Structures are given as structure tokens and as C-alpha cells.
Amino acid sequence: MNKALSTTYVHIHQDLIEGCKRGERLAQNKVYKLYNRAMFNICMRMLGDEAAAEDALQESFVNAFRKIHSFEGRSTFGAWLKRIVINKCLSQINKRKLYTEPLNDNLAAHQQEEEESDSPIGQLTSETIHSAIQKLPEGCRVIFTLYLLEGYDHQEIADILGVTVSTSKSQYHRAKKLLRQHLSTQIVN
């Protein structure tokens, strides 16, 4: 994107955010249309259920529009909204009593040392991989999503979920192992 086009886009984007701050429904609708698909994908990855993801998405946007006056522009609006979405998903998960299986530190260390599978991952479709992620146990799926797909580190995940760093690491490695197992059966079939 060239600089003039980029500047125009930022200006239009800022105008939409200002319109949302004034409570303008048209601006809110445009912001929703800009971000709903990406935020829904986050909800699906974290919650693994379409109905729950839709609920979390709607509640996140309602919260974002209520709190839009607190958006100060220190980050992008998308990053600010993403944090609201992730918090809403985590809140829903906590209501369902997130279960993570505690694994001992030795097992986590052993799993870290495992070599990556030599399976031909290129044969898999994104739908197959997404489906395999959704089949992970909830604790593994949430930690896998936060770490690999959303970019949080294990300390941040531990703080967010109220677990130990060791639990975050072991659940992440367990998720990778389960994914490898599931995906290797998909390649064979």
C-alpha cells in the first residue's frame, strides 16, 4: 500500500472510531464489518463451538462499543479489540471450569526434546488442521491457540489462565503431540 493510500485508510479508520465514540450506529456497523470475521475466527479457535463463538463475538463487540472511550490509540484498534475478544473467550471458558491436566516437569522437558514429526504436512488442508485443533481437549486447545496462533508467551498464558508456566508449557507440548497423532492418521487415510 502506498503512503498516500495508507494515510487515507488511517484517516477513514480514525473517523470510524470517532463515530463509534459518538455512538453513531453506521460507524459501529462499519467497524463490525471490518473486524467481525477475524474476531470470530479467534473465538472459534479458543472456544471450539460455533454457537459459543458467536455469543462471545457479539458480547465482545457490545463491550468494545461500551468501552470505546477508553481506547486511546496506544495500539491499533484491532489489537485493542482482539484483547477484549480473548478476555471474553477466557471468561466463557472459566465459566465452563477450564480443565488442564497437570503434567510433571520431567514430562514437559521430555516433550520439549521430542523431534518434530517428519510427516508430509503439505498434504493436509487448512480445514483438516482446523478440525484437528478443535478436537483437542479444551485446556490444550486454549493454550495452543494463545501460544501459537495469538502469540502470547508461556508466562503471559500462565498469568491469564491462573496456571503455572510449567502447566502452560506441558499443555502446549501435549497439544502438539495430539495434533501430530491426529494429523498423521489423516495422512495415512
User: pTM score > 0.85 for this model?
Assistant: no
Sign of the dihedral defined by the CA atoms of residues 107, 113, 118, 122, in that order: positive
pLDDT digits (tens, 9 = 90+) for 112-133: 444 444 445 556 677 777 788 8
> What DSSP state is assigned to residue 146?
I
- For the purposes of burial, counting CB atoms within 10 Å of the CB of 148, is it exposed (0-12), middle (13-18) or buried (19 or more)? middle
Tell me the chain's radius of gyration from C-alpha atoms.
19
pLDDT digits (tens, 9 = 90+) for 137-148: 888 888 998 888
DSSP string computed for 160-174: HHT--HHHHHHHHHH
